[in-house]
Amino acid sequence: MESDLGLWAIPLAVIGGAIRVSTPILFVSLGETLTERSGRINLGLEGTLVFGAMAAYATAVLSGSPWLGVLVGALCGAVFGLIHGVICSIPKVNDIAIGIAMMLLGTGLAFYFGKPFIQPVAPDLPAIPLGWWSDLPQVQAALNVNVLFVIGLIAALALAWALRATRPGLILRVVGDSTDAARAMGLRPAMIRTMATAIGGAFAGIGGSYLSLYYPGSWNEGISSGQGLMAVALVIFARWSPINCFWAALLFGGAGALGPALQSVGVTQGYYLFYAAPYILTLGVLIATSSTSRALTGAPGELSITK
């Protein structure tokens, strides 16, 4: 591709990439934040993401409506979350082990049911052309913002507010921080955690529908390339805060666009190294923001990985 922007193409591509790539990661990490704040960890969201992508794509192909696809993706995600939540409510069941099993189940089922939908083309989700003011096609392309990205941003803000200033939000934090305190308060921790996991699953399902219905915008078996797992890790990086999840997802998406952007401006050597940028960046920020004298701040007390 011939570029007439010179080095400006790099930040532009990074911004565009950040907006485009971050949405599924944002949704999965928001869902996982919700689940982890309740004291459970759901590693199965990678499977939920892939299954959500398949279900949304299949629905869109069959019905012709991408939004119906998103809805079905969310519903499937909620069902996966519900299964995880219910199984984990049985005493002495380990949520991490169940999560891994659910991940394999989700991807396996998605591949099985998804075979007939690799060929057909589904309608895309609409995007808002926020780059209308510019004549440059690159700017227009970078600022073509999908509706789900906007919904994700609103969801992050709403979640952050709900955790701070609503009764359900506070109850979720109580359950996530101390089972004993929750019981003493007359709450039912297992039920609340199951609900949180189901809603978290729905978020991941929506993330999946973005993958197959907008970017990359088709259904195939390599569609997620581990983004679901990465998003779960990002929750720790974001210190269980929905707003931080948004920034973390943007950062991760932007860093991921660095490799292709460098390649496009003619850097031919070592750009593969930049494909690792998101991971290196994540590691770097984690180390920089951690403290030797304190435990992970904000970690829910009942979480099995921090207990």
Partner 1 sequence: MRPAPTAIGAEPLPPGALGIETVGMTMRFGNFTALEDVSLRVSPGTFHALLGENGAGKSTLVKCIMGFYHATAGQLLVGGREIEIADPRDARALSMGMVYQHFTLVPSLTVAENLVISRADAPGIIDWGKELEELEAFMASMPFRVPLEQPVNRLAAGEKQKLEILKQLYLGSRFVILDEPTSVLTPDEADEVLGHVRGLCTAGEISVLMITHKFREVTAFADEVSVLRKGRLVGQGKVADLTHEQMAEMMIGVEKEYRPVERSGSPGKLVLELENVRATDRSGLKEIALDNLTVRAGEIVGIAGISGNGQMELMEILTGQRSTSAGQIRVEGEPYKATRAESQAHSVRYLPEEPLRNACAPRMSVIENIAFRSFDRNADQQRFWLTPAEMKRRGNELISAFKVKVAEPEGPIAALSGGNVQRAVLARELTGDVRLLIISNPCFGLDFAAVAEIRARIVAARNAGAGVLLMSEDLDEIMELSDRILVMSDGRINFEVAAQNATLAEIGHHMGGHA
Q: Among all chains, which residue has been given the structure tokens 């009942």?
A: 302
Six token digits for residue 244: 């931080």
Size of residue set near partner 1 by CB under 8 A: 23
Q: Which stretch binds partner 1 (CB under 8 A): 119-127, 203-211, 266-274, 290-298?
A: 290-298
Q: Please report whether residue 165 would count as binding partner 1 according to CB under 8 A.
A: yes
Tell me, letter by letter, the H, E, C secondary structure of 251-291.
HHHHHHCHHHHHHHCCCCCCHHHHHCHHHHHHHHHHHHHCC
For the bound state, the minimum distance from the C-beta of residue 91 to partner 1, rounded and expressed in Å, comes to 15
Six token digits for residue 113: 């049911």
* Candidate list 168, 216, 226, 284; residue touching partner 1; CB under 8 A: 168
Is the CB of 118 or the CB of 184 nearer to partner 1? 184
- SS3 (DSSP) at 145: strand
Q: Please report whether residue 184 would count as binding partner 1 according to CB under 8 A.
A: yes
Is the CB of 134 or the CB of 290 nearer to partner 1? 290
d(CA 79, CA 113): 16
Is the CB of 82 or the CB of 187 nearer to partner 1? 187
In terms of Cα–Cα distance, which of 194, 260, 189, 289 is closest to 9? 260
Give the torsion sign (CA, 25, 26, 27, 28).
positive
Is the CB of 161 or the CB of 272 nearer to partner 1? 161
Is the CB of 89 or the CB of 220 nearer to partner 1? 89
Q: Please report whether residue 300 would count as binding partner 1 according to CB under 8 A.
A: yes
* Candidate list 134, 166, 304, 306; residue touching partner 1; CB under 8 A: 166
Which amino acid type is present at position 32?
E
Binding site for partner 1 (CB under 8 A): 164-168, 170-171, 173-174, 177-178, 180-186, 292-293, 298, 300-301
